[in-house]
Structure 1
């Protein structure tokens, strides 16, 4: 109920009263029981208000029936469900053309089955003679439904173009091998604040639900990050419990950016009493878009608000793999986050062990730019390197790879598939031991 109140305030509504009811099953006519409907009507009269918001998704007929029953002593009463409220917030916050297209699609898909409710004032004109005798009211509904369906089709075509454009952008990023890190999390978890703290991107930060709707991507260099000098960090729309399915479908182009990321930073408001359920809600959406299995770092944010518990939270995070506790506002723990990000990025690189002839010293600048080298030695017969590197550099060094005693490659490069088939050893120390065993170090 507290989250619903916050949603109402974000939408610009003033909450005057709340009520709730437990039912074994929703009433198919009004969702709540008749006694609760009468109680809501009394509250409307007492507070002289004209809007009721339900923390659920109502069917078109339930909305229509509730508005009829609650409007006995009033001219009109607006009944909104959770989906309508969230769509209204999204409509207010959409700034880019892509965001507006996605919101309009979701709104129109929501409105389409509710057109009959919007035209109840023309019911007296619709006639009762059956086929061939319908009046102008129903004709108007059919016309609006056709126009709305056409607009939905047009929006889908435009958004498909947006998806294609984003796919081309992702392909270009892959070509330049710039890793993409996407910030995901519950709405108002502090993703934009964290992005600003890490990249100084000056993204809009507000203490409101869904303050960020349009994704923001920044190319940045993080202090202490050596694996990749440059990375792309993307701030995405926040998730919420019971996220409307129409929104998930409409925002497909945006959500695909999350699925295409190399690493997800799952930002959690650790100061929230319901942070565990919020985490679960985010994971459910990630599963729905096929991103639940992505490499993920969990960031427990807002430890500055956990009075007396911040040390305990930091200790607990340190004991869990790929977890870190930070405060995006004060900067506490950000260096630990960069360290974990560095470590995670390094394990996404390919192991390489090669002896480069001096005639190919021109390769060294690129190797140094895109690799983490544990060993770099200048020997009589060439430059020996051992470490991890990007896919393109690994392919570039294929002809200089070292072989084992049985003349089998340490890892095989399949140029026919333009891909890598790598026999990886689990421990970096094992790589070093094998290398030193075959290539004695100079004293």
Structure 2
């Protein structure tokens, strides 16, 4: 069966298909991003990519940005322009955490609700920084409220209320504790680093939040791998907690001498370590070795301060940076190669414009040009040659707008 080739009218031959020979593309203020400091990245169920920045929430549809910002004169708005985290609930509501509150945006992305904090004397809108929002395996949403502790969100049609989860510690029930970072467990539940106390686990089935291991950890990032092990940063180290053996393994990250700001478990089954100043380092969790071979040239990144990473449903890698906007690594781009009729010429001529394609056989393609006649492309040799015509059928300077080949291999063209 023949392959199908798209006809590109009025474009350079293959040039617009391969719009960048580099595997890294860039999106920033000039492309509509509200700010070049990107703090978090999330893909919703509809495929939109959301970016939190230090000055607004951004939704990207592959072509353009839509920016959402705080309106001080409206209640139907974000609580702050400084976005810290984004997630989507099982009801398709978008949770947006900021430096001064937590907002829920409905599935139509038109109505905003401030999440309320449940207090003994009534409910009040959250007005403090929420640094993370996560879902457990059952779809329950949690928020990391720093000094306000771990918050569990009660999500209904009419309101959203955050409840402080008491921490069980040495036979006591603590309501005054600080959470440094959280992550969802591989199954159900939430893990958390409690400042000056240690590692804690919220059991979704038992509805209990207990200190699992004591320790004075100073962590800025944490993530779980598919086996259930927990990885977190700690004073220039990467720490792995084996949840089955209940044991710690420490990996010295000290020689890199750059702050760790985020951890991401990649589809390559490696731990991605996002640093403030040294790009992305990777830890092979099987060998315990660090390396900067990340699958792309980090010298092409617009910033070495990496705050957020996302691998989307199509395996594109989105990298959010400090003052460098967004970098996109698309592995599909590497599959394309530019072919030109005059590869050594920088000038634009009529042979570089194509109007029609037709497959001759497995190794050859007919190319109809915009004013330079008919060409035949040998894909195996990578050679494109002008097709010779007899003197009584000279098409060297015509516009070949359509091509079709019959069953015996004869090619007919429509020309102007």
TM-score bracket, normalised by the shorter chain, equals under 0.3
Quick one: higher RCO (CA 8 Å, sep 6+), 1 or 2?
Answer: 2
Q: Give the structure-2-normalised TM-score.
A: 0.24
Q: Which has the higher strand share?
A: 2
